[in-house]
Amino acid sequence: MSTYNEYLKQIVEREAQGLHPLPIDGAELLSEIIEQIKDENHEHRKDSLNFFIYNVLPGTTSAASVKAQFLKEIILGKSVVKEISPSFAFEQLSHMKGGPSIDVLLDVALGTDQVIAEEAANVLKTQVFLYEADMERLENAFKKGSPIAKDLLESYAKAEFFTQLPEVEEEIKVVTFVAGVGDISTDLLSPGKEAHSRADRELHGQCMFEFDEVRQKELLELKEAHPDKRVMLLAEKGTMGVGSSRMSGVNNVALWIGKQASPYVPYINIAPIVAGTNGISPIFLTTVGVTGGIGLDLKNWVKQVDDEGNLIVDENGDPILKQTYSVDTGTVLTINTKTKKLYDSEGKELIDISSALTPQKMEFIRAKGSYAVVFGKKLQTFAANTLGIEVPPVYAPSKEVTHKGQGLTAVEKIFNKNAVGTSGATLHAGSYVRVNVNIVGSQDTTGLMTSQELEMMAATVISPIVDAGYQSGCHTASVWDLKAQANTPRLMKFMNDFGLITGRDPKEVYHPLTDVIHKVLNDITIDDWAIIIGGDSHTRMSKGVAFGADSGTVALALATGEASMSIPESVKVTFKGKMADSMDFRDVVHATQAQMLKHFKGENVFQGRIIEVHIGTLLADQAFTFTDWTAEMKAKASICISQPDTLIQSLEIAKSRIKIMIEKGMDNEKQVLQSLIDKANKRIDEIKSGEKPPLAPDENAKYYAEFEVDLDIIDEPMIADPDVNNEDVSRRYTHDTIRELSYYGGDKIIDLGFVGSCMVHKGDIKIVAKMLKNLEELYGKVEFKAPLVVAAPTYNIIEELKEEGDWEILEKYSGFEFNDTAPKTTARTEYENILYLERPGCNLCMGNQEKAEKGDTVMATSTRLFQGRVVADSDRKKGESLLASTPVVVLSAILGRTPTIEEYKYAVKDIKLTQFAPPLGKMTTKPGHLLSF
């Protein structure tokens, strides 16, 4: 059967699902389609033309290369297609976003036919996705006296590819659609269990609102009733886009309410408008900017105060909110991009929205996405340098905020060190900066979209600026099903060829690893001054500053080695008191959230900011428990301030793990992993000699807020509760309800326990083993009254546990142990009351493969308590995922209920939990430390 006939068969299958033909990315299929176009009598010629013009993915796909070459033949007159004139061929090339299309346009522009050369140059003047090889061709032609090359460089220096674009419309009429009350998780917009379909945008679009066809129909009807307006999707009394970086969530929103990016590229939409009463999750907002969309903080619910200025609270001590204006579904509003205000249908001003329409964000909107601006600035700089002129001021100048005499926070220091293209001034929070990126991570359920983004921006190799890139396989580790078998090897090959270290070897030289991405990134980050970008909201390292990002921002970082963002404000977190021996550090993490909310009277001061945690004495693995959790605190990121000896010890551990990766054969030809060890050795020497001490803020740095956690008052385990039956819907499924163990009275039924995800480290798995040994000595045998699922984060941890004798007791009580030679091919839907030793990876935390049984009450070490994530609802009851420390989870599974405080203390007796003592010395430095970087 020909490739085209196979495609026709696939089309029939997709029609049965209500889908259009899959966009073409393969050279073999498009080559056959072109041959059918050339044959004027071919029975499939009409359809082939349609596929060629309207259904080929752009960028560096093999199909794009074939398409560009055929269009070149048409332009040069070597092929004649009556339906595709040379002018139309140029138009097609203008929508192909770089790579092969730029090659063709440069070939023609620098050729001998003056007429078509000028036409090609006119198209090139609209393009921004040029890479070093393209720029080198232009530079060489310019030096040889080419007038076309000179004309192009002059156009690029003026950034005409940007200045010739239409201005952003002054008034944007919108009609509201409430996606839900309370925080809107990206799981609602793009369910984790549908991760396999994310690269197929039309198919994935069907899962919007978790396949709720009633909601989908309501949205379509609203659009039809307001054809002259844009739909604004919003979270009422909550934050939009919490829980994940998820580009697929924004893609789905754009597919339903956005604009088509190009008439010649199907199902790639841009420019969605989203909003939240409590704003937009920072990572989600970045993703909206990637697509040239708008994200609004509606602020339509405000706290009330009495006549004396005191906050009015309810009987639970929570602030009572008052609505200042309605945003119910169907409300018509106007966004004015000139006045930067939001107005109601009668022209009354509601709120200032200037933070959503900064000069930089306006450029994203005008350029149809942030990529075009990033590449445009790079191209303009190249052209000006080649011509020997100053870069003309076209783009809004980077916002530089400087406060004379004010010291720097830790994040301000990192941004100043890594900033590019600034005036050289010392920058403080609020500055908008381009920064070099040191480490980039891609995970498997977003990786296919990242690879698509790289193809569409015509990138072929990782930027030399990046110290290392890593592609994980952890999010699909649990079940090696047909979807994983189809997607994972393809993804790993692409990323390995691109220059990343990959968890799975395309050549199958080393054993397939499914280690959790954040754990690997935490190990390969060997510079406390580094900037890390990762394709997951939990990219929160305990060295350097790490930002979770959408798949597009990850692609941009991989391709350019850069990211652009504002320097966030910071909240300084310190500790006092002594941690009780029977408490685990996870309890400190939960208590931080609870004490912070109480101290600031319900205001989450962490949201959208950096949490600078002066953790000092805690090693990187354990400190990661805190930084990882900050994603659920809605923080932008977190930075750990470490003492010299602690940082050195953490770096030695990182070196040992990188060495193991090298021994397994994971290093590449450029010896990226070995270079990380070399950099770690250099950093250790700098710390020991005093040449460059560990990162620390200046003692006169300015913070948005400062907060001290009191360890003395943490006298029992702390649990984050989704509070699924709270009368106020907006307060369900948030991470703000933190309760002590005694609240449950020792009688709340627990249906399943889960120890795993990125929130646990080696010590947690040792705790499981030690508890089993203790209880075995007490009772003779341990029996589980609820299932206990254990998933170590990495294979290294399992190997170390085997060497240290802890794995044996786990195997003894396991009713299931993963087997990489025969991995599971179907997801588990029912559980027995046994211990499950699952493959290293995310497991239940992801919710895309394994899940608890519907309606279960789960006690987990996970970070996820969102509705439907770890456990779905059933007809009998709502599913709920309570989050706690490892010993609480293990004991809950053994008892089948929450333990009493007495049972808990007995069970952890003589067990070394993750302990922490506040650093005794000062964790700041004298002003001027910045100069040493």
Distance, CA of 208 to CA of 206 (rounded, Å): 6
- CB atoms under 10 Å from CB of 309, counted, come to 6
In the three-class reduction of DSSP (H, G, I as helix; E, B as strand; rest coil), residue 175 is classed as strand
Q: How far is CA 453 from CA 60, 387, 547, 554, 798, in A?
A: 10, 31, 19, 9, 35
Distance, CA of 604 to CA of 319 (rounded, Å): 12
**Which structure tokens are listed for 90?**
């140029």
Of 287, 367, 916, nearest to 643 (Cα)?
916
Inform me whether the pLDDT recorded for 244 exceeds 80: no
Distance, CA of 548 to CA of 825 (rounded, Å): 30
Q: How far is CA 113 from CA 72, 87, 151, 152, 318, in A?
A: 13, 15, 16, 17, 74
419-420 and 432-436: which strand pairing?
antiparallel
**Which structure tokens are listed for 486?**
């189809």
The set of long-range contacts for 853-858, using a CB threshold of 8 Å and a minimum separation of 24, is 853/751, 853/752, 853/829, 854/879, 855/879, 856/751, 856/752, 856/880, 857/748, 857/749, 857/750, 857/751, 857/752, 857/882, 858/750, 858/751, 858/752, 858/753, 858/754, 858/882
Q: How far is CA 214 from CA 220, 222, 361, in A?
A: 10, 12, 34
pLDDT of residue 932: 47
Give 133's contacts (C-beta < 8 A, 6+ positions apart).
none
pLDDT of residue 245: 58
pLDDT of residue 1: 63
Ramachandran area for residue 663 (φ above 0: left; ψ -120 to 50: alpha; else beta): alpha
- CB atoms under 10 Å from CB of 390, counted, come to 9
Of 643, 592, 638, nearest to 613 (Cα)?
638
Write out 848-873 in H/E/C secondary structure: CCCCCCCCCEEEECCCCCCCCCCCCC
CB 127 within 8 A of CB 458: no
294-297 and 273-276: which strand pairing?
parallel
In tens, the pLDDT along 768-816 reads 999 999 888 888 889 999 999 999 999 989 999 999 999 999 999 999 9
Distance, CA of 567 to CA of 410 (rounded, Å): 11
Ranges 99-108, 432-441, 908-917: which has the least confidence = 908-917
pLDDT of residue 660: 93
Distance, CA of 638 to CA of 518 (rounded, Å): 14
pLDDT of residue 931: 44
Confidence of residue 511 (pLDDT cuts 50, 70, 90): confident
Distance, CA of 391 to CA of 383 (rounded, Å): 8
Of 791, 780, 835, nearest to 810 (Cα)?
835
Task: Let me know the angle formed at the C-alpha of 48 by 45 and 53, rounded to the nearest 5 degrees.
Answer: 125
In the three-class reduction of DSSP (H, G, I as helix; E, B as strand; rest coil), residue 696 is classed as coil
Residue carrying structure tokens 């998933």: 791
CB 162 within 8 A of CB 367: yes
Give 891's contacts (C-beta < 8 A, 6+ positions apart).
771, 899, 903, 904, 907
Helices (H), 566-643: 585-599, 620-629
- CB atoms under 10 Å from CB of 400, counted, come to 18
In tens, the pLDDT along 830-875 reads 999 999 999 999 898 888 889 999 999 999 999 888 888 899 999 9
Rg (CA), the chain: 28
What predicted TM-score, i.e. pTM, was given to this entire model? 0.83
Q: What is the rounded average pLDDT for all residues in the chain?
A: 92
Residues listed for the chain: 933
Q: How far is CA 663 from CA 657, 668, 681, 815, in A?
A: 10, 12, 18, 32
Give 76's contacts (C-beta < 8 A, 6+ positions apart).
108, 113, 116
- Give percent of the chain above pLDDT 90: 73
Distance, CA of 22 to CA of 15 (rounded, Å): 11
pLDDT of residue 287: 86
In the three-class reduction of DSSP (H, G, I as helix; E, B as strand; rest coil), residue 722 is classed as coil
Mean pLDDT (whole number) for 144-172: 97
pLDDT of residue 899: 97
Of 883, 723, 610, 624, nearest to 183 (Cα)?
723
749 class by beta-carbon count within 10 Å (0-12 exposed, 13-18 middle, 19+ buried): middle
Backbone φ and ψ for 9, nearest 5 degrees, come out as -65, -40
Distance, CA of 132 to CA of 98 (rounded, Å): 12
Q: How far is CA 921 from CA 244, 574, 615, 709, 932, in A?
A: 36, 12, 11, 17, 21
pLDDT of residue 928: 62
Give 218's contacts (C-beta < 8 A, 6+ positions apart).
177, 329
Distance, CA of 162 to CA of 378 (rounded, Å): 13
In tens, the pLDDT along 293-344 reads 999 999 998 888 887 777 787 777 777 888 999 999 999 999 999 999 999 9
pLDDT of residue 930: 45
Q: How far is CA 450 from CA 208, 310, 453, in A?
A: 20, 49, 5
Distance, CA of 104 to CA of 66 (rounded, Å): 11
CB 741 within 8 A of CB 899: yes
In tens, the pLDDT along 418-454 reads 998 888 899 999 998 889 999 999 998 888 889 988 9
In the three-class reduction of DSSP (H, G, I as helix; E, B as strand; rest coil), residue 408 is classed as coil
pLDDT of residue 711: 97
pLDDT of residue 281: 86
**Which structure tokens are listed for 853?**
């049984």
In tens, the pLDDT along 637-695 reads 999 999 999 999 999 999 999 999 999 999 999 999 999 999 999 999 999 999 999 99
pLDDT of residue 866: 86
Give 397's contacts (C-beta < 8 A, 6+ positions apart).
none
Distance, CA of 824 to CA of 476 (rounded, Å): 11
Distance, CA of 143 to CA of 389 (rounded, Å): 15
Single-letter residue type at 793:
P
Distance, CA of 436 to CA of 562 (rounded, Å): 5
In tens, the pLDDT along 258-283 reads 999 999 999 999 999 999 998 898 87
What pairs with residue 321 in β-bridges? 303
pLDDT of residue 131: 86
In the three-class reduction of DSSP (H, G, I as helix; E, B as strand; rest coil), residue 590 is classed as helix
